[in-house]
Amino acid sequence: MKALIFLLALSLLGMPRACSASLERVEKSEEEWKALLTPLQFEVARRKGTEPPFSGAYWNFSGEGVYRCVCCGAELFSSRDKFNSGTGWPSFSAPLENAPLREERDASFGMIRTEVLCARCDAHLGHVFDDGPPPSGMRYCINSASLSFVPAD
C-alpha cells in the first residue's frame, strides 16, 4: 500500500511538468517557416489560407494514426475521430484530449466562424462548426496542408 501511495505521489508530481512541456511555445520567423514548409503549407498554416476542397492529401484518406501540426509536430487529431463530411477537407468530430488547440473568432469573408489554431506555434489549422456527428456535434474542418499524418505502428 505504501508503495502504491508513493507511486501515486510520484505520478502526480510528474504531471505538471508533462503538461507544461506539451505547451512549450514554438516561435520562428517568417523566413524560418518558409524554409521548413512547402509553399502551400506556408500559405495555409502561416498566412491563414485555405487549400481548395478535394485537393489535399487527407480529405479522402483513412489511414490509422495521429495527425500532427505540420509546423511544430504537436499531436492534434486521431484517425478515430475522423469522418467523411463530404466537404473535401479532412474533418474530425473532436481533437485529441490534450491537443494544444486555440480558438478565435474569425469574421473574414463576410462570415462569422471559429478559427482553430495550434496553440504551440499559432499555425492556422481550419475552422470548427457545430454541425458535426453525435455525440460531440462538432466538425473540425481542417486543411490537409496544416497536418502531418503519422501512422500507428
Residues with catalytic roles: 141
Q: How far apart are CA 128 and CA 4, in angstroms?
A: 42
Q: How many helices (H) does the chain have, and how many strands (E)?
A: 3, 9
Per-residue burial over 134-151, b if 16 or more Cβ lie within 10 Å, else e, is eeeebbbbbbbbbbbbee
Q: Is the peptide bond preceding residue 135 cis, with omega within 30 degrees of 0?
A: yes
Shortest CB 89 distance to Zn ion, Å: 18
Residues 6 or more apart whose Cβ sits within 8 Å of residue 70: 37, 41, 45, 123, 145, 146, 147, 148
Q: Which of 94, 118, 125, 147 binds Zn ion (CB under 5 A)?
A: 118
At 37, the amino acid letter reads: L
Query: In this chain, which stretch among 28-36, 51-59, 91-99, 117-125 interacts with Zn ion, using CB under 5 A?
Result: 117-125
45 vs 94 by CB, closer to Zn ion = 45
Residue 123 makes contact with Zn ion by CB under 5 A: yes
Contact between 47 and 139 under an 8 Å Cβ cutoff? The reply is: no
* Per-residue contact flags (x/-) with Zn ion for residues 39 to 78, judged by CB under 5 A: ------------------------------x-xx-x----
Comparison of 117 and 141: residue with beta carbon closer to Zn ion: 117
Nearest-approach distance from CB 14 to Zn ion, in angstroms: 24
Q: Which is nearer to Zn ion, 96 or 123 (CB)?
A: 123
Total number of residues that touch Zn ion (CB under 5 A) = 8
Q: State how far the Cα of 100 lies from the Cα of 88, in Å rounded to an integer.
A: 24
Q: Which is nearer to Zn ion, 88 or 122 (CB)?
A: 122
Residues of the shown chain interacting with Zn ion in the complex, contacts defined by CB under 5 A? 69, 71-72, 74, 118, 120-121, 123
